Chains A and B, each alone.
Chain A
Amino acid sequence: MLAGLAARTGIDVAILRVVFVIAAVATGGLALLGYLVAWAALPSMDGASAPLALPGRLPRVRGGGRVAAGVGLLTLSALLAFRELGIWWSDALVWPLVLAAFGAALLWERSRADSTVDQPARADAAPRDPSPTRLTDAYRGVFGVLLVAGAALLFLSSNHILGGLRDAALTAVVVVVAIALILAPFLWRLGRNLASERAERIRSQERAELAAHLHDSVLQTLTLVQKRADDPREVAALARRQERELRDWLADDGHRSAEQSFAGALRRLAEKIEDDHRVAVELVVVGDCELDESVEAVLGAAGEALLNAAKHAPEPGPIRAYAEVEDTGIEAYVRDRGPGFDIGGVPPDRRGVRESIVGRMERAGGRADVRSSPDGGTEVSLAIGRIPARARDSR
């Protein structure tokens, strides 16, 4: 209702509210009756605002303010009723309290409005000339401060303790409370602004990280690809490595798969072979487990098999590696489609297959088979038993 009146008269609603409260107190509650009548008679804010709108001032008044005013008036009437009934401390305590509450309420409302102006949702309102709103805010703020300070003074003087030395402590307490009431909303707003600034900073940091990542990886690779355009194998290798890195980055959000797992270690092995020898390795892993001795043996042998394939049978790619981890054991296969070779014809000084693959697996308690045929390529099969995790735990 007061908001509606404010819209008609052009006087700030906060002033009207305070004036009204004083009137209500002075007339012993009669003004409350007047409020009810006027509330019923006058059109509501929403209806009246359109034809008589005062730009810049109206948007500050919302339903929340009216509700607050209503609640305040109800409280006030309750206070007056208590006073009549004799359930009362003293005028010297209650009225300063009421004034202080009003001042604090004004300051709070102001700081809330300030912080919502910064929200992106209200960006559409930004082009409007902000000065009337600023002005209202400013003198509303001053008014709030005066109210709280006045309430403190009123309290002190009406209790005759303004000059009393023995009540100096009480004076200090009251002053501190008053200052706290004044400063609280500003501190709160400061906190809000800091939080939103921090959020913005995190966002821009993420953007910068993304830009840096793309710059270091994709752009560098594209530059290299242009330089090496005459070497198809090099270009393919560069593109492949970049693809892999980008996939990892997208999939894991920057975190690589667990360092200590079999699948992760095998993947790194395959990547290293791809990079070092400019070949394509297609790796499929089913299941996973932690690293231990027997797992290390499989990794070592598989790495050697991949290396052999990369050296002796890079074409036609890709080299395929498959590993499956079961509770009872691990199997791994490395297969190429190269020319194949005669295992019996490998000279004894070439220790690759015999030592690094077969020997390594046998020492660890597993086995390795090499199948090779002149046009079917070569496949190295590795198998090793595992102590199931459950059994190991129960020991």
Chain B
Amino acid sequence: MSTGLPTVVIVDDHALFRAGVHAELEGLVEVRADAGTVEEAVATILREKPDVVLLDVHMPGGGGVEVIREVARDRPAQRFLALSVSDAAEDVIAVIRAGARGYVTKSISGHELADAIGRVRDGDAVFSPRLAGFVLDAFHGEIPAAEVDPELDQLTRREREVLRLIARGYLYKEIALRLDISPKTVEAHVSAVLRKLQLSSRHELSRWAVERRLVE
């Protein structure tokens, strides 16, 4: 879609970690700036207007969720990729529902991370195998038919298949090959799942959101 290296702002309260990511992404993306606190991050993002913000989930002063909220007021189209040491379900769900377009854990390699940044820049969603597992889990149980909003509260068979393959460790192009669909269609399915994840009122999701005080 866009040309050239994606521009990135790194937000993390650990300077050591920022430096590490910086080094790993050298030559793969263009890191414009980094920030260590919520206020600094908001100011930096609004100033630099990067393609993608690499966002730590846990930070003093409200964490990544707060950064997304603050930035969204002035720059609602800003794209975020969440990066965390935590793989607790409530963290993942909270930051996705706040508006991040993907979630990867900090153990990800530099090349994978650059690939994920590129996809988020192009408006796609990035699901790690673990996130795919969470989503399958959250949409797993039956809910009373009367309460189901089929647009939001259920995954289609195809979406489920795509998520399963992601959870099994398949890359998008391998999924496309396996399901005999185009990689763009795979992207479309994942984006649809992301939208459901953000908008569904399924109680598992609401519960996680409430626990993180997202629903006020």
User: A residues near B, CB below 8 A?
Assistant: 251, 282, 284-287, 320, 322, 324, 333, 335, 376, 379
**Residues 132-170 of chain B: 1 if any A CB is under 8 Å from the residue's CB, otherwise 0?**
110011001000000000000000000000001001111
B174 interface residue per 8 A CB criterion: yes
Residues from chain A with Cβ under 8 Å of B140 in the complex = 286-287
Contacting residue for A379 out of B88, B132, B136, B168, CB 8 A: B168
Residues from chain A with Cβ under 8 Å of B189 in the complex = none
Q: A284-B129, A285-B133 are in contact. Are A320 and B88 (CB under 8 A)?
A: no
**Can you give 22 contacting A-B residue pairs, CB < 8 Å?**
A251-B88, A282-B129, A282-B169, A284-B129, A284-B132, A284-B167, A285-B133, A286-B133, A286-B137, A286-B140, A286-B167, A320-B129, A320-B168, A320-B169, A322-B164, A322-B167, A322-B169, A324-B136, A335-B168, A335-B169, A335-B170, A376-B174
B138 — nearest CB in chain A belongs to which residue?
A: A286
**Residues 116-137 of chain B: 1 if any A CB is under 8 Å from the residue's CB, otherwise 0?**
0000000000000110110011
Residues from chain A with Cβ under 8 Å of B164 in the complex = 322, 324
Instruction: Decide if A287 touches B169 in the complex (CB within 8 Å).
Output: no
Alpha-carbon distance between A230 and B103 when the two chains are bound, in angstroms: 33
Residue among A251, A333, A376 with the most chain B CB within 10 A? Answer: A333
Residues from chain B with Cβ under 8 Å of A320 in the complex = 129, 168-169
Instruction: Decide if B174 touches A322 in the complex (CB within 8 Å).
Output: no
Q: A324-B164, A376-B174 are in contact. Are A282 and B130 (CB under 8 A)?
A: yes
Instruction: Decide if B88 touches A284 in the complex (CB within 8 Å).
Output: no
B170 — nearest CB in chain A belongs to which residue?
A: A335
Alpha-carbon distance between A379 and B130 when the two chains are bound, in angstroms: 18
Instruction: Decide if B133 touches A322 in the complex (CB within 8 Å).
Output: yes
Smallest Cβ distance from B89 to chain A, in angstroms? Answer: 11
User: B residues near A, CB below 8 A?
Assistant: 88, 129-130, 132-133, 136-137, 140, 164, 167-170, 174
Alpha-carbon distance between A233 and B147 when the two chains are bound, in angstroms: 51
Alpha-carbon distance between A287 and B137 when the two chains are bound, in angstroms: 6
Alpha-carbon distance between A245 and B59 when the two chains are bound, in angstroms: 23
Alpha-carbon distance between A5 and B133 when the two chains are bound, in angstroms: 75
> Which 10 pairs, one residue from A and one from B, show the smallest C-beta to C-beta distance?
A320-B169, A284-B133, A322-B168, A286-B136, A333-B168, A322-B167, A335-B169, A286-B137, A284-B167, A284-B129
Alpha-carbon distance between A368 and B14 when the two chains are bound, in angstroms: 45
Alpha-carbon distance between A163 and B137 when the two chains are bound, in angstroms: 85
Residue among A320, A322, A376 with the most chain B CB within 10 A? Answer: A322
Alpha-carbon distance between A320 and B164 when the two chains are bound, in angstroms: 12
Residues from chain B with Cβ under 8 Å of A333 in the complex = 168
Alpha-carbon distance between A134 and B104 when the two chains are bound, in angstroms: 63
Alpha-carbon distance between A8 and B110 when the two chains are bound, in angstroms: 79
Residue among B130, B132, B137, B169 with the most chain A CB within 10 A? Answer: B169
Instruction: Decide if B137 touches A322 in the complex (CB within 8 Å).
Output: no
Residues from chain B with Cβ under 8 Å of A379 in the complex = 168
Residues from chain B with Cβ under 8 Å of A282 in the complex = 129-130, 169
Residues from chain A with Cβ under 8 Å of B174 in the complex = 376
Residues from chain B with Cβ under 8 Å of A284 in the complex = 129-130, 132-133, 167
Residues from chain B with Cβ under 8 Å of A324 in the complex = 136, 164, 167
Alpha-carbon distance between A287 and B133 when the two chains are bound, in angstroms: 10
Alpha-carbon distance between A297 and B25 when the two chains are bound, in angstroms: 44
Alpha-carbon distance between A324 and B88 when the two chains are bound, in angstroms: 18
Residues from chain A with Cβ under 8 Å of B137 in the complex = 286-287
Alpha-carbon distance between A322 and B133 when the two chains are bound, in angstroms: 8
Smallest Cβ distance from B143 to chain A, in angstroms? Answer: 15
Residue among A284, A285, A322, A333 with the most chain B CB within 10 A? Answer: A284
